[in-house]
A and B are shown apart, each in its own frame.
Chain A
Amino acid sequence: MAEQILEVRDLVKHYPLTQGILFKKQIGAVKAVDGVSFGLARGETLGIVGESGCGKSTVARMLVNLERPTAGAISYKGEDITRLSGRALKAVRRNIQMVFQDPYTSLNPRMTVGDIIGEPFEIHPEAAPKGDRRRKVQELLDVVGLNPEYVNRYPHQFSGGQRQRIGIARGLALRPEVIVADEPVSALDVSVQAQVVNLLERLQDEFDLSYVFIAHDLSIVRHISDRIGVMYLGRVVETGTDAEIYDHPTHPYTQALLSAVPVPDPQARAHRERIILTGDVPSPANPPSGCRFRTRCWKARQRCADEVPLLAVPQAFPEGPAAHPSACHFAAEKHVVPAEGELPPPPPPPGPLHGGQ
C-alpha cells in the first residue's frame, strides 16, 4: 500500500448556537461534521460526495486549516496539524493547498493575474527568490493552459473556465503535495467542465499530487476518483473504491443517490430502478437519533432509532466487492448503475473530416 499522506481521525466540527447578547449562553450546536475518518495515499484521489449541508465543505476547510476542528485529528505525514501553530503550521500549509468552487469570488478583482498567482510566494518567500517569481508565474500560467503573456490582466477579463485555471495555478504555485478541491467544476458550463477535469488529471500525473475532490456530481466524482466517501448529515455513511461504491453500494443512501443521478441516455431509463426519497435532509442542529438517514430510509426499523450504525464492513459480506465499510444495520447490495458494457456506448467524439471538401 502506498504511503499515507493524510490521515483524518474522528473529525468533529460543531458550531455553537447561542442565545442572548451580553450573557451569551450556548443552547445547542450545529453538528456540521460529526466523527469523520479517512486516509489519503500519495498520488491518490479521494472523492467526497454528498448533498448540501452534509459537511463536505467543512471537512475541506478543516483540511487546509481554515477552520479549527472541535475534536479529532488530521495527521499530515504522521504529524497532527490541528495542534500546530506559528512557523510549524505555516510549513505544513505550504504542502496542502485549496482550489475553490466559485472562480468569480475567489479571485481578488483588484489584483492582476500575476499578483494572484504570485501571492503564495509573498507568504512563503523561501519557495522562490524574488527575481525569479515573474518567470515562475508565467511558467504556472503555461502549465494550466493559459497564455503566459496574460500576467498583467485582471480576473474580469477571463471566462469562468479560465478563471478556474487561474485558481488552480495559484494552488499549484508552492508545489504542494495535497490539493483540496471543493466543487472545482460545478460553477462551469458543461463543455468547459471537461477541459478543467482533464487539466486536473494531467497535473496530478505531472506533479505527483494527491487530491481530495469534493463534489455533488456523482458522475464527475467517479471519473476522477480512486476512492470515494459518501457523506450524509456530518457522517461518512459508506466508503470504498469507485467500483465498490458505484457497482456494489450497500448503504441505502448511496443507492438512492446513485439512482437519482440523471443519466444522459434515455435508454438507460429502462435499465435502472429509480429510488425516490421522500422529504428533505434534516437540520444538522437537531439530527435524528441513531442512524441519521432513518427519517428518509425505506428500510428503517426500531433498531435504527436506538443504535448508531458504525462505519464497518457489514458482517453479511465478509468478502467480495460488497465488503467495504458501510454504516447501515441492514446493509444489502443493490444494483442501481448499469455495469460497464451493459448499455450501448455513446457515439464516438466528432473527428476531422476525411476526404471532405
Chain B
Amino acid sequence: MLLEVRDLHVEFRTRDGVAKAVNGVNYSVDEGETLAVLGESGSGKSVTAQAVMGILDVPPGRIAGGEILFKGRDLLRMKEDERRRVRGAHMAMIFQDALSALNPVLTVGAQLGEMFEVHRGMSRKDSRARAVELMDRVRIPAARQRAGDYPHQFSGGMRQRIMIAMALALEPSLIIADEPTTALDVTVQAQVMDLLAELQRELNMGLILITHDLGVVADVADKIAVMYAGRIVEAAPVHELYRAPAHPYTRGLLDSIPRLDQMGQELYAIKGLPPNLTAIPPGCAFNPRCPMAQAICRTDVPPLYSVTGTPARRTSACHFWKECLGG
C-alpha cells in the first residue's frame, strides 16, 4: 500500500474551544489508484491532506493521534529532515488557487527549475532545460518562450498546468490535489482534469483528489470517501456509491444536485447546517439533519460498518445502512 492513514485525529485550538477537525479518519491509496475525498467546507478533507503533507499550521493545529504510513513507514514518527526528503521526492501537492501558490516575482521557468536545483543538484542551465520539458509535457504552447513569463501573465487554466508540472517535476509516487479545478471554468476544468488523469496513468502515481463536487469525482475516481464533520461516513468504489449510497448524507447530497438529464420539480434539500466543530452533536454527527434518525443515533457514535453483499470493500458509518441501501 502506498499511503495508509490510520485513525487520524487533528484538533485546532480556537477562542471558542477545541475544534475537532478530524476525528479518526482511515483511508488508503495504492499506486495507480485515484481516491476522491468528498466533503463540504469544514468537513476536514483539506486538514487531513495537510497532515499527510506535513504542512498543517502547528499551533493552532495539533495532530492528536493516529498514524500516516507512507510505503509502510510512519511519517509522523520521522525526524523533520528525513520527512522533508521523503516529501520532496515522493509526494507532491496541487493547490486550488494557483495564482497564490506560485511566487509572483519569479518567472515560472525559474520556479520549476528550482525543484531540480534543490533536490537533484542540477546546474541552473540544465534545470531550466528540464523546466521547459515539463511545460511541454503539460501542453503549454510555446513552452520555451513562456518559461520567461511571470505567473500573472498566464490564464487560470495555464497556471493550474504549471502547478501540475511543478508537482510532477520529481516524479513523485503520490499526488494530493486539493480542489484542483474549482477555480476554473467548465471547459477548462475538463482539459485540466483530463491532463491530470492521463499523467497519473502514465506515471502510475497514487492520486488523492479532494473536492466538494460530486460531478468531477464521478469521471476520474476509482473509490470515494465521503467526509462529514471530521469523519469518513461512507467509503466505496465509485460506481457502487453512486448507484446505491449506504449513508443518508451521501444520498441527500446526490439528490440535492440538479441533473442535466432530468427536469426537476423541487430539489431535495438536506435541512439545517453542518455542525460547529467545537460542539459536534453526540452520537452520529449527522443526526440533527438526518431524516432517518432514531433514538440510538443521538446517543451512540456509529462504528464503521462493513457493507456486505457487495464484492468490493465498502464501509458506512450509519446504524441503519441496510435500510439506507434498501431504499
Interface residue ranges, A against B (CB under 8 Å): 51-52, 159, 161-162, 189-195, 197-198, 201, 216, 218-220, 222-223, 242, 246, 256-258, 260-269, 274, 276-278, 280-281, 337-340, 342-353, 356-357
8 A-B pairs with C-beta separation under 8 A: A191-B252, A218-B260, A220-B258, A258-B260, A264-B217, A264-B242, A266-B239, A340-B262
CB-based nearest A residue for B195:
A276
CB-based nearest B residue for A338:
B261
A357 pairs with B185, CB closer than 8 A:
no
Q: How far is the CA of A264 from the CA of B187 in the complex (A)?
A: 16
Contact A198/B266 with A260-B190, A265-B242, A280-B188 known, Cβ cut-off 8 Å = yes
CB under 8 Å from chain A, chain B span 233-255? 238-239, 242-245, 248, 251-255
What residues of chain A lie closer than 8 Å to B185, measured between beta carbons?
Answer: 51-52, 216, 281
A-B interface pairs (CB < 8 A), number: 175
Q: How far is the CA of A269 from the CA of B239 in the complex (A)?
A: 11
B274 pairs with A257, CB closer than 8 A:
no
B252 pairs with A262, CB closer than 8 A:
no
Contact A219/B244 with A262-B216, A347-B327 known, Cβ cut-off 8 Å = no
Contact A216/B186 with A193-B256, A265-B218, A340-B262 known, Cβ cut-off 8 Å = yes
CB-based nearest B residue for A353:
B292
Q: Is the interface of A mostly helix, strand, loop or mixed?
A: loop
Q: How far is the CA of A162 from the CA of B273 in the complex (A)?
A: 10
CB under 8 Å from chain A, chain B span 13-28? none
Q: How far is the CA of A222 from the CA of B260 in the complex (A)?
A: 7
**In this complex, which of B212, B268, B271 has the most chain A Cβ atoms within 10 angstroms of its Cβ?**
B268
State how many residues of chain B have any CB contact under 8 Å with chain A. Answer: 61
A195 shortest CB reach to chain B, Å = 4
A268 shortest CB reach to chain B, Å = 7
Q: How far is the CA of A274 from the CA of B187 in the complex (A)?
A: 10
Interface residue ranges, B against A (CB under 8 Å): 40-41, 155-158, 185-191, 194, 212-219, 238-239, 242-245, 248, 251-264, 266-271, 273-274, 290-292, 294-296, 320, 323-324, 327
What residues of chain A lie closer than 8 Å to B323, measured between beta carbons?
Answer: 353, 356
Q: How far is the CA of A346 from the CA of B268 in the complex (A)?
A: 12
CB-based nearest B residue for A202:
B266
A357 pairs with B269, CB closer than 8 A:
no
Could you say which of B238, B251, B260, B320 contacts A246, with CB atoms under 8 Å apart? B260
Q: How far is the CA of A340 from the CA of B213 in the complex (A)?
A: 22
A274 pairs with B190, CB closer than 8 A:
yes
Known: A193-B256, A195-B271. 7 other contacts (CB 8 A): A191-B252, A195-B269, A222-B258, A242-B263, A276-B191, A347-B243, A350-B291
A298 shortest CB reach to chain B, Å = 13
Could you say which of A262, A276, A346 contacts B215, with CB atoms under 8 Å apart? A262
What residues of chain B lie closer than 8 Å to A223, measured between beta carbons?
Answer: 258, 264, 267
